[in-house]
Amino acid sequence: MESRVKTLLLSLACGAALAGCAYPYPYYSGYATERRETTITLPLPAGTDGDVYLAALREGLDAIRAFEPDAPLILSLGFDTYHADPICDFALVTDDYARIGAAVRSLGMPVVALQEGGYAIDALAANAVAFLGALDGLVEAAAES
């Protein structure tokens, strides 16, 4: 019997071709054209705040639901989207990470979160606790504006 593993790659990042993003072509990915059956890239503009990020994330979560995964979600959890991060192009605040955690929790599936990125050391712990608390259901995310 042949078994095929289904994978889906979803990427939300500062779009390489969008104004203000610090990722020059061809050294980084992040183009909307990087969309295939198993790859979805949702490039976001520099300055993206929590509301814009969450709207794109909801689109991505809908794609994950439609994909019907049969394995845990492996999440590359970068906190370099924080507004004060020294390499940041986004404008997320700590409460946004709780909203993101709650949105991911809404999938109702196991999650393996691998923390990568996040260089605003003074805020890193608070951002991680906000995300993980909401992911686990221990912290209620603030209402969206």
Q: Which has the minimum average pLDDT: 16-30, 51-65, 83-97, 114-128?
A: 16-30
| pLDDT score of 45 | 85
| pLDDT score of 26 | 45
Report whether pLDDT(24) > 60: no
Q: How far apart are CA 135 and CA 56, in angstroms?
A: 18
How confident is the model over 37-77, as pLDDT tens digits?
Answer: 788 888 888 899 999 999 999 999 999 999 999 889 999 99
How would residue 36 be classed by pLDDT, with cut points 50, 70 and 90?
low
Report whether pLDDT(5) > 80: no
Contact 114, 77 (CB under 8 A): yes
In the chain, the domains with their CATH numbers are 9-136 (3.40.800.20)
Report whether pLDDT(122) > 80: yes
73-77 and 39-44 as β-strands: parallel, antiparallel, unpaired?
Answer: unpaired
How would residue 18 be classed by pLDDT, with cut points 50, 70 and 90?
low
How would residue 25 be classed by pLDDT, with cut points 50, 70 and 90?
very low
Higher pLDDT, 51 or 4: 51
Share of the chain above pLDDT 90, in %: 56
Query: What's the angle, vertex CA 107, arms to CA 75 and CA 131, rounded to 5?
Result: 50
CA dihedral sign, ordered 9, 51, 118, 126: negative
